[in-house]
Structure 1
Amino acid sequence: MIIDQRTYTIPTGLLRDFLSLYATQGRAVQIEHLGACHGYYTTEVGELNQVVHLWAYKDMADREARRNALEADPRWLAYRRKACAAGHVIRQSNALLKQVDFDVFTSEA
């Protein structure tokens, strides 16, 4: 399994607007293509005005197929255009996290 960790930095004062637009126009279509979100968070300490969300995939091929389907959906593209026009995201980054298989380290060789 891999986890796609996405972090968006939102302009000060627009976090509520970002979350509202996502909740009403982006979330359902994203879940339709990517499956249930593994976690969706906002920051309280450290760098503020960030949204962090985690998406689980079986492997890289699963991630690529699901994300390609999402990026081809006109509803998702319309949502992204609205979010962009509203200036909701200053910066975004993502990290792909690979699950550790501890059996490799504990099995007798």
Structure 2
Amino acid sequence: MLIDHRTYRIKPGAMQAHLDIYEQYGFAVQTRHLGKPVAYMFTESGELNTIVHVWAYDNAGDREQKRAAMAADPEWQTYLKKNREAGYLEHQVTKLMIPAKFAPIIR
């Protein structure tokens, strides 16, 4: 299994607006291609204005195939355009991770 762990920093005061754009334009198309996320969360304390979402794939090939199909979807392109135009995203970090054998991810 391959885990795609993503962390996004959103401009202060823009969290709800950013989430609204994703909910309206991104969530349905993304889950249609990738399946449900393992987690999709935003900070309540600590490093504020942060979103973390986690996606599970069978392997690197599965991830590549699913993300390519999503990237080719016009609905996903609409979401990306809305997200860019809003300008709420400040920083992104993507980590591909492998679960330890003693703590597997349950899907």
TM-score, normalising length: structure 1? 0.89
How far apart, CA to CA, are the structure 2 residues paired with 1:70 and 1:93? 19
Q: Counterpart in 1 of 2:51?
A: 51
Alignment length (residue pairs): 102
1:67 and 2:58 aligned: no
> Deviation per CA, 1:18-51, whole angstroms, max 9, x where unpaired?
1011111100000000011110000122211011
Alignment of 1:83-102 (within 5 A): 83-102=83-102
What is the aligned-residue identity percentage?
A: 44
Q: Counterpart in 2 of 1:20?
A: 20
How far apart, CA to CA, are the structure 1 residues paired with 2:52 and 2:71? 20
Q: Supply the RMSD in Å over aligned alpha carbons.
A: 0.9
Q: Which amino acid aligns with 2:87?
A: G
How far apart, CA to CA, are the structure 1 residues paired with 2:70 and 2:45? 31
- Any stretches of 5+ residues in structure 1 without a counterpart? 103-109
Q: Counterpart in 1 of 2:38?
A: 38
How far apart, CA to CA, are the structure 2 residues paired with 1:101 and 1:42? 27
How far apart, CA to CA, are the structure 2 residues paired with 1:91 and 1:77? 20
Q: Counterpart in 2 of 1:107?
A: none
- Any stretches of 5+ residues in structure 2 without a counterpart? 103-107
1:79 and 2:97 aligned: no
TM-score, normalising length: structure 2? 0.91
Flag as ranges the 4+ runs of structure 1 deviating above 6 A: none
